Structure formats: structure tokens, C-alpha cells
A and B are shown apart, each in its own frame.
Chain A
């Protein structure tokens, strides 16, 4: 019998437990979208000319993306060895978004992110050593083993977390932006969140106040098409998250996040707008996580074909190709850089492993 219930195929034996009422049958006349497909994510014309780029611009971004991927691969390995515990959400596949976006701001600018924030932290300038040591729960960790994977904070680079409550950090980002405006500083705040956050109150209220008070913030929705196991069409009545900006009279943008240069150029416009006019922007970047929601999720609600198609669009491979084809970088130079990155992460893993365990939690409850 052909399945008219789209999820029945994809839920790995649990299909029978899904109440039929929540599944949208295909016979209905409005467009049925049984699964988010790569095609749907193409907002820009597929044959759009890529932004011209130089080696000087792309090399450092490529390096960052690669380091983030290697760092996360190393964490995945350590997790499976039991050296990292709890929830571990990897950004693998989405690296171009955090790297491209954060490349548009400086050290004084603020970044607020979700629990899927290793890449954002690294891109903001936090070294691999304290990040990995934190994941390992060590004393030398960025936050001394108190926060773990989901709560990276760094005062020096103005990295404001690392937040585990979906959408709850959007008002915090607005608060940082409020302070910049209050003091007349030309600092911009980048606030990252998943498309799943766009249905919760923290997001709605954060966006409403940011727009009302014209706070210098760029809200960046990393739309990876799923919130945990729930695809877009089952969580959003309108899948275009950027349209939320319209009801607040806020600027918006929406594009694919495969090309780190494109991300950088498009976010730069929003950052400039925030810096010069305090006008916020809601930007939706379509992207894809290659792995499950967290390490405990095998991601069986997606087809192999879908994942394979997105892996073909791997932002890191994409950048490497451009370095070779458009910037004339030789294999040797790339290999050298890749080895350097490998060594950096290997060193960070060693550092994390050799560090002493976390040892105190009382001093940081109340500030005396």
C-alpha cells in the first residue's frame, strides 16, 4: 500500500505511534510538503553568479570553517569515548553561517547564540583549547567546567553565551544592543537562533522590542530545516521566517548559506545598517546540519538522499573548490593549511585531556 502519510516511511519503526491527525495527508488541495527538500531551500536562483572573491578574503574563512569542523569531529569522537557528556549539538554542515556572519564584526561587537554554538565561539576568536577543555568538563575550560557545550561565555571577545532555552536568549541579545544604543556606542549585536525558535515567545517579544526601539542588532535565523525531528512544514505555518520582520516594519533578508562569502556580504549589509542607523534586520539563512540534532539523535527522520544532496553542497568543500578554481590556490598550500588546522585541534584535544578536572562551583553563585 503506498503511504499517504509522509512520515510513515521515515520514522524508523515508530510510524505507527504517530497520530494520523498531525500528519497532513497528500490528497488535500493545498500544497503538500511531505519533507523539506533542497529545492525548497533555494531562494536565490540556482545559477546565480557567485560573488567574486580573493584568496586573502576566503583563506581565513576557509581555515575557520575547517577548524570548527575538525573541532567538532574531535568532540564527537570524545563523546563516543565517554569523555564528553550531556547534550552535544554539532554545527557540522552549517559552518558557513557563523563564520561568514561573524567575519563582518569586530571584537567589540556582541554575539549571542544557542546551544549549537561551538562554531560561533571559535569564529568570535575563542581558541580551541578552552572550548574543548570546557566540553571535557575541565578546570581549564572556558567556563571552568560549569557550563559545558551549551554555555560557552567569554568576556574578552564579547561572546554572551551559549543558551539552552530555545528563544530565551533573543531578548538578551536585544539587551546588549540596547546598552550599545543607550551609551551611544557603535557596537552591533549578532543574535543567532534556529528556525524552531521562531515559534516561541522569547523570539516574538525580542523581535517586537528590537524593532520598536530600533536596537542595533542583526537577528540571524539559521534555518536548518528541522527543529530536532520536526521538519519545517510541521512547525511553521509560513516557512519563510524572514517574513516575521514585515509585521514589525523591520528590514529582512533571506538566502542560502552554502557560500561563506555570500553569507559575509549579505550579513555585512545588515551589520552596516545596524551600526550606522540602529536599524535591526531579520536575516534567514537556509542551511543544513549533516548530523542529528545532538549526538544521541541518529537523524532517521531524514532520507539518505536528502542528506546526501546537502552534503554535496558542503560549504567547506564549496570554499575549497573556489580557492582552487577562482583564487588559484595550489593543492600544496591547502594541504599545509589543513595540516596546521589538524595540529591545532589535536593540540587542543591533548590540552583538554591532560587538564585537571573541574573543582569548584561555589564561588560563582553570588557576586560578593
Chain B
């Protein structure tokens, strides 16, 4: 099986879906001639021409809204945000229009659109370019929110997102584009709302998505040297959320640590923690723990930036707390 990067996997997904359906088009800043600010759309312009790979000027609210309007009347836009930080100037289109039109029109107009691009912390780009917005979007009924952690998941989920009849917020970790995994040559789809066990274990459940899956896998490796077997559960999509895969794991391990790179206050992990205590109270041997970034805008200096975000040692410490080893 070929081993490819997440960047290539996303590129393949768009390529295949645009090949398959002439109503799919890609629009965003620098997606065409520049091949994408992060080179995710490399080569698509050559294959699909300016008609379907559209370089937009800097007008996120404008082109996100054009996507919503085009989706209402039958196209399947992929709107790329250069980074999700810039989705904030288009959030009206995502939250007030894309997420609501299916309901406000009583099911007459659906909005099959994907808003995608890199998000979450990047490296040394400071507060305005380095933040996790998934909890904002996951709060909104009418949206789906996907955050893949591997090349394999990225391809299968993006293809599903493009075929979905609802607006999908598809956030790719800015730091994972180069991460590689095995991706089959044959076509495959991964449904949204279906999590994945990234590592099996019996002593503690680690729930994480996107970048934090890798932090948790590293932590699990370290914990294994202490004879602690951590199970790493990746929900892959936050909305819909595969509650079952999380609660099944927690019922097995009796302990749960939720790790997210977003802020603690009203972060998505709090929602998972609620669902776990509601559904697994009798199985829990310790209170649910959360590991998050510090409650601050992201600093620039590399040492501070790392300190803000959950590190392997923080995850290990949290696991020890729920195992009463400290």
C-alpha cells in the first residue's frame, strides 16, 4: 500500500471527487495558480481549469457566501480557507446561512458545501494565526465538523464530506500536512460520526482528535514502558460524535482523559466529559480528566508556544492522576 502524506491524501480526495462529479468545484485564495498556500490543491488547476479551481480575492465572507448560494441551487462547492482563522470573517455565512437554510426553508434547500483548510495551532505564528476553533463550530446545529488525524482518515472523510448534503466544517491540522500513513489505491469512504481506535489498551481511555491524537499516541508509548496500556480513541468528527466508541472504551478501562489542543473553557472536551459521566458513571473508577491548552492567546516564542499546548508529559501526568499513581 502506498504511504503518502495528509497533504497528498487531501489532494487525491478532491481530485477524485471533482473527477466524479462535475458540480464539485474548489474556491479560495491562492488555490489555483499558486497551488494553495499549503499546496493542498497542487495541480488541480491544470487538471480542472479555471472554471472549477477558482482563485478568489481576499473576501472570505463573499466567497464563502457564494459557495452557500451555489450549494443551495445544486452545486457542491469546496471552499478553502487559507487558514481557519480567516473563517471568522466569514462565520456569518457558515453559522447564519449554511447551517440554517435547510431548517429555515423547511427542507426545501439543502447546502452541500465543505469549508476546509488548516486550523489549530501552527508554529510560531502567534495569536491570530494559531488557534483551535472546532468548539465554536461544533456548537452549531446544522453543521458537521470533521478533524482528521491521519492521511488515511483525511482522504476517506473528505470524500464523504464532499458527497454529504450538509455543510461540513473540515479542519486540517496545520502541523499534520506532512504526516504520512498507508492509503490504499482503491477508492474508500469513511463515514462521519464513526470514531477509530488508534491504539488499544485496557487501563485508561485517551480521547483526542487531530493533532492531539499523535501526542496521545506518543504518551501511550511512554506509558507502556510503565506497564500502563492506554487506549487512544479518535472520534474523527466532533459533529456527529461517535459517543458509543468513547463510552464503550471507558466502560472497558474505567478511566478517561480527554486531550484537546483548544482552550479549556467551553472546549469540546467538556462536552465529551459530560457524555462520559452520564453514560458511564457506574464504570468510572476516577473522575474524568481533561488536558487542554492554557487559557491564553497563543504566544509567539517557541518555548512559550510549546508550554501552552498539551505535551506528552502533561498527558502522562493526567493518566497517572486518574490511576491514582500520583
A203 to B71, CA, bound (A): 19
A154 to B72, CA, bound (A): 12
Q: Are A206 and B62 in contact (CB under 8 A)?
A: yes
Given contacts A171-B64, A175-B72, A179-B73, contact A147 B104 (CB under 8 A): yes
Chain B: minimal CB distance from A341 (Å): 27
Q: Is B92 on the interface with A (CB-CB < 8 A)? A: yes
Q: Is B303 on the interface with A (CB-CB < 8 A)? A: no
Taking CB atoms, residues of chain A closer than 8 Å to B93 are 168, 171
Taking CB atoms, residues of chain B closer than 8 Å to A202 are 61-62, 65, 92
Please give me the residue from chain B that is nearest to A150 by CB atom. B104
Q: Is A136 on the interface with B (CB-CB < 8 A)? A: no
Q: Is B184 on the interface with A (CB-CB < 8 A)? A: no
Q: Are A176 and B69 in contact (CB under 8 A)?
A: yes
A154 to B106, CA, bound (A): 10
Given contacts A172-B69, A365-B141, A367-B165, contact A179 B75 (CB under 8 A): yes
Please give me the residue from chain B that is nearest to A201 by CB atom. B61
Please give me the residue from chain B that is nearest to A182 by CB atom. B75
Taking CB atoms, residues of chain B closer than 8 Å to A206 are 62, 65-66
Q: Are B65 and A171 in contact (CB under 8 A)?
A: yes
Given contacts A168-B92, A205-B59, A366-B142, contact A146 B69 (CB under 8 A): no
Which of A159-167, A320-328, A342-350 touches B? Answer: A159-167
Taking CB atoms, residues of chain A closer than 8 Å to B74 are 179
A110 to B69, CA, bound (A): 11
Q: Is A209 on the interface with B (CB-CB < 8 A)? A: yes
Interface centre among B63, B97, B102, B105 (most CB of A within 10 A): B105
Q: Is A144 on the interface with B (CB-CB < 8 A)? A: yes
- Neighbour of B61 across the interface among A162, A177, A205, CB < 8 A: A205
- Neighbour of B108 across the interface among A155, A205, A212, CB < 8 A: A155
Chain A: minimal CB distance from B192 (Å): 10
Interface centre among A155, A172, A182 (most CB of B within 10 A): A172
Q: Are A154 and B108 in contact (CB under 8 A)?
A: yes
Q: Is A364 on the interface with B (CB-CB < 8 A)? A: yes
Q: Are B104 and A151 in contact (CB under 8 A)?
A: yes
Please give me the residue from chain A that is nearest to B144 by CB atom. A366
Q: Are B65 and A168 in contact (CB under 8 A)?
A: yes
Q: Is B284 on the interface with A (CB-CB < 8 A)? A: no
Taking CB atoms, residues of chain A closer than 8 Å to B105 are 143, 147, 151, 153, 155, 161, 364
A176 to B71, CA, bound (A): 8
Q: Mark interface residues in A128-156 (1 if CB within 8 Å of B CB, else 0).
A: 00000000000000111011000101110
Please give me the residue from chain A that is nearest to B25 by CB atom. A182
Taking CB atoms, residues of chain A closer than 8 Å to B46 are none
Please give me the residue from chain B that is nearest to A134 by CB atom. B106
Taking CB atoms, residues of chain B closer than 8 Å to A147 are 104-106
Q: Is A100 on the interface with B (CB-CB < 8 A)? A: no
Q: Are B51 and A153 in contact (CB under 8 A)?
A: no
Taking CB atoms, residues of chain A closer than 8 Å to B57 are 208-209, 212
Q: Is B67 on the interface with A (CB-CB < 8 A)? A: yes
Taking CB atoms, residues of chain A closer than 8 Å to B165 are 367
Q: Mark interface residues in B89-106 (1 if CB within 8 Å of A CB, else 0).
A: 100110011000111111
- Not counting A143-B104, A165-B96, A171-B93, a sample of 19 additional A-B residue pairs whose C-beta atoms are within 8 angstroms of each other reads A110-B73, A143-B106, A146-B104, A147-B106, A153-B105, A168-B97, A171-B64, A172-B65, A173-B69, A175-B66, A175-B70, A176-B69, A179-B70, A182-B75, A202-B92, A205-B62, A206-B62, A361-B103, A364-B106
Q: Which 4 A-B pairs have the closest CB atoms?
A: A175-B69, A171-B65, A205-B62, A153-B105
Contacts from A to B (Cβ < 8 Å): 110, 112, 142-144, 146-147, 151, 153-155, 158, 160-165, 168-179, 182, 201-202, 204-206, 208-209, 212, 361, 363-367
Show 13 residue pairs from A and B whose CB-CB distance is below 8 angstroms, ordered by the A residue: A110-B73, A112-B69, A143-B108, A163-B97, A168-B92, A172-B69, A174-B69, A175-B68, A175-B73, A182-B25, A201-B89, A206-B62, A209-B59
